[in-house]
Amino acid sequence: MKVTFVVLLVLIGSAIAGFGQQLQSIHTRWDDSYAEWVVYTSDESVEGTLSLRWPMQGDWTKWDFRIGEEAGSFEMHYVEDPGFWEARSGNTLLTARWFWPGDITRWKIQDDYRLWIFQTRWNHMTEDWVLNDPLDFGSLQLYTEYEGDPRDWIIDDQMDPQIPLVTKLFMVFLGIYHATPRL
């Protein structure tokens, strides 16, 4: 009886925390602006948003997201250092840093337990991103739906269900942020 209760509690807790949700695609809400995005998941009833916190101020360093019951933020840690970002959602804190100074095509993303390498498939093109290492938690690929059009992205999310939604969305955010103009 106790084992059944614990298993049920874990399943409910992981559903509330956003575990197990797979990302499908992300699209700009408006064709002429990259300040607000709509996120689609594997659960058709759950749709999310990713948007600039202060769109009228033109501050591209602070973003907020909400997908279902999960909400959080992505912020550039220092305005002078575009190679250091933080993601926060609930009790989860992630950091992302350039792998090499000034190179926007390769990122080290880290939480309390793991380190991921997320990078572009080709060095000269920011329209196709892949999770490079470690692959023991599954794979994540992000690419534009139409070549040369950074408004619509397809997300091939094959990551382990234990990986929090904020981790996957943070990788997606880094890819689209560095591939889109600031309009």
Instruction: For 78-92, give one letter per residue: b (16+ CB within 10 A) or e.
Output: eeeebbebebebeeb
Question: What pLDDT does 2 receive?
Answer: 53
Show the tokens assigned to 52.
């600039």
* DSSP codes, 74-129: EEEEETTEEEEEEEEETTEEEEEEESSTT-TTEEEEE-SS-EEEEEEEETTEEEEE
Question: What pLDDT does 61 receive?
Answer: 96
CATH assignment of 2-177, given 3.30.70, 2.40.160, 3.30.200, 3.20.20? 2.40.160
Residue identified by tokens 């290492």 is 133
Q: What is the DSSP letter of 79?
A: T
Helix H or strand E encompassing 166? helix 165-177
Q: What is the DSSP letter of 19?
A: T
How many Å apart are CA 15 and CA 2, to the nearest integer?
20
- Neighbouring-strand partners of residue 95: 86, 110
Are the C-beta atoms of 172 and 142 separated by less than 8 Å? yes
Question: What pLDDT does 19 receive?
Answer: 54
* Stronger pLDDT, 15 or 86, i.e. the higher one: 86
Mean residue pLDDT of the chain comes to 89
Q: What is the DSSP letter of 176?
A: H
Question: What pLDDT does 16 receive?
Answer: 42
Task: Tell me the Cα Rg of the chain.
Answer: 16
Task: Provide, rounded to the nearest whole percent, the portion of the chain with pLDDT above 90.
Answer: 78
Question: What pLDDT does 182 receive?
Answer: 80
Averaged pLDDT for residues 108-131: 94
Please write the tens of the pLDDT for every residue from 123-182. Answer: 889 999 999 888 889 999 999 999 999 999 999 999 999 999 999 999 999 999 999 988
Question: What pLDDT does 12 receive?
Answer: 39
Averaged pLDDT for residues 95-107: 96
Task: Provide, rounded to the nearest whole percent, the portion of the chain with pLDDT above 70.
Answer: 89
